[in-house]
Amino acid sequence: MSNDGRRKVSRRRFLTETAGAAAALAIVPRSVLGGEGHVSPSETFGGALIGCGGRGGGTFGGLGPNVRRLASCDVKFLGRVDNKETYSDFRRVLERKDIDVVAIATPPHWHPLITIAAMEAGKDVLCEKPLTRFIAEGRAVVEAERRYNRIFQVGTYGRFRDSHNPAKVLTHKIMASGLLKKCQGVHIKKGGLKVRQWSGIVNAKPQPVPKNLDWDMYCGPSPLRPYHPHRTGGTHRGYWDYEGGGMADMGQHHFDPVQWTWAKDDTSAVEIEAHAPPAHPECCAMWGWVELKYADGLTFVMESTEWGKPYDRKQPREISLNDLSEEDQKKVLAMPDPEPLVDFPTAIRTRQRPGGHAEAAHRSAAILHLANIAIRVGRKIRYDPVKEQIIGDDEANRLVNQPMRAPWHL
């Protein structure tokens, strides 16, 4: 067993326990013994997929080639559960000691709770984006990652690409140097946020719950609403109960690498303002743009191009060495490039922190949540990135840390 307590079969133990080394050499296939292109048992992990719909297969694939799928779990598996390979209750999966790694591809209202529970049970986790449904969930995931010393990666990978782009690496170094005191950078994401596509049905009439679906478990920590199929199967994205519209669906893909480039993995915006009609209480719907300003002046904007007047306050602006004094330029150029980001399959073998770790994933999800809060309350909000609370606005803070339906809690 490795020194961090994981259940991993060592090559030596495997050979001894397989009726002696000599016999093993005779009967064990080459793939077990290793060699180029082969996976040795010392690097093989037991895996489970929780949430087997649309993204499930792809998310499990992100665990890498060394993870063998031992269990599949989904709330729509009622009637065919054997609690050996097929489950409808993730808690039964997490009880298994032979599962080392969990891929989570449920709707986002379950992401943090299952992530935290899996880490409590000693598993490493790859979780689909968006990491969370509201900000306090993200902090709880970060704390669980630290407390249980597990590997966590969110299922979006743009930062791995951008961290090899020389122009973005330079921006990252300028920002990370702390030498740019007043940042004039403006990053605008225009379109591609699927606002209309991921809206909710405001006049949905309740329908009977399908026999194969555990609806109570589906709703989980969210309010137990009357069933409607549009609340499931991808279109769940249009409801605040489960996600946050196209903003939450596409936003983390876009802003997670942007956040890395601008070296904001450990902080959040301080002023957020939206241009949107009054929000619906349950359904995600139209908005025009949201502007998020960081304490150093950096501005992020998401512009839907699907509603209202265009964003015209600022133009996109990159930063460059020219924004620094000559002396500071030399300091930045002398800085080493950032370490290559570690991918999840490598991280679970080496126990290094992966590139899309919990804090980074939490902060990039918070960008979307803050934008959605500004849309939902219809007023400018000011945010304290350290306390992770909206300043002087009790009602808006209710969306930062939302109550959960028992027995589910952070």
- Smallest distance, another protein to C-beta of residue 332, A: 40
Question: Which residue's entry shows tokens 């080639």?
Answer: 65
Q: How would you write 57-92 as a 3-class SS string?
A: HHHHHCCCCCEEEEEEECCCCCCCCCCCCEECCHHH
Give all strands of the β-sheet with 45-50 in edge-to-edge order: 86-87, 67-73, 45-50, 101-104, 124-128, 152-155
391 binds another protein (CB under 8 A): no
State which residue, 94 or 247, has the beta carbon closest to another protein.
94
Part in contact with another protein (CB under 8 A); list of ranges 51-59, 180-188, 203-211, 328-336: 203-211
Tell me, residue by residue from 139 to 158, as one string, x for binding to another protein by CB under 8 A and - for no binding. Answer: --------x-----------
- Smallest distance, another protein to C-beta of residue 301, A: 19
Q: Which two tokens stand for residue 129?
A: 């984006």
Measure the CA–CA gap between 4 and 307, rounded to whole angstroms: 52
117-123 contacts: CB < 8 A, separation 24 or more? 117/90, 117/91, 118/94, 118/150, 119/144, 119/145, 119/147, 119/148, 119/150, 119/152, 120/144, 120/148, 121/94, 121/95, 122/5, 122/6, 122/148, 122/150, 123/48, 123/94, 123/99, 123/150
| 154 DSSP 8-state letter | E
1 binds another protein (CB under 8 A): no
Question: Which residue's entry shows tokens 């665990």?
Answer: 63
346 binds another protein (CB under 8 A): no
Cis peptide before 407 (omega within 30 of 0): yes
5 binds another protein (CB under 8 A): no
CA distances from 68 to 37, 65, 321, 397 (A): 16, 8, 48, 42
Part in contact with another protein (CB under 8 A); list of ranges 15-23, 194-202, 264-272, 340-348: 194-202
- Smallest distance, another protein to C-beta of residue 22, A: 40
Cis peptide before 130 (omega within 30 of 0): yes
| 354 DSSP 8-state letter | P
- Smallest distance, another protein to C-beta of residue 146, A: 11
339 binds another protein (CB under 8 A): no
Instruction: Please give the single-letter amino acid code of residue 254.
Output: H
Number of residues lying near another protein (CB under 8 A): 45
223 binds another protein (CB under 8 A): yes
User: Which of 57, 58, 277, 392 is close enough to bind another protein by CB under 8 A?
Assistant: 277
- Smallest distance, another protein to C-beta of residue 32, A: 32
Part in contact with another protein (CB under 8 A); list of ranges 49-57, 192-200, 325-333, 343-351: 192-200
387 binds another protein (CB under 8 A): no
How many C-beta neighbours within 10 Å does residue 316 have?
Answer: 12
Tell me, residue by residue from 235 to 254, as one string, x for binding to another protein by CB under 8 A and - for no binding. Answer: ---x----------------
State which residue, 192 or 308, has the beta carbon closest to another protein.
308
Give the residue ranges of DSSP H helices in 201-319: 215-219, 245-261
Q: Which is it for the CA torsion 239, 400, 366, 111, positive or negative?
A: negative
State which residue, 283 or 360, has the beta carbon closest to another protein.
283
- Smallest distance, another protein to C-beta of residue 159, A: 30
State which residue, 3 or 203, has the beta carbon closest to another protein.
203
State which residue, 87 or 157, has the beta carbon closest to another protein.
87
- Smallest distance, another protein to C-beta of residue 230, A: 8
Q: How would you write 133-144 as a 3-class SS string?
A: CCHHHHHHHHHH
Tell me, residue by residue from 18 to 57, as one string, x for binding to another protein by CB under 8 A and - for no binding. Answer: ----------------------------------------
Decide if 216 contacts 224 (C-beta within 8 A): yes
Tell me, residue by residue from 98 to 117, as one string, x for binding to another protein by CB under 8 A and - for no binding. Answer: -------------------x
217 binds another protein (CB under 8 A): no
Decide if 373 contacts 381 (C-beta within 8 A): yes
Measure the CA–CA gap between 67 and 101, rounded to whole angstroms: 8
Residues near another protein, by CB under 8 A = 91-92, 94-95, 117, 120-121, 147, 195-196, 199-206, 223-224, 226, 238, 276-281, 283, 285-286, 307-308, 377-379, 394-395, 398, 402-403, 405-407, 409
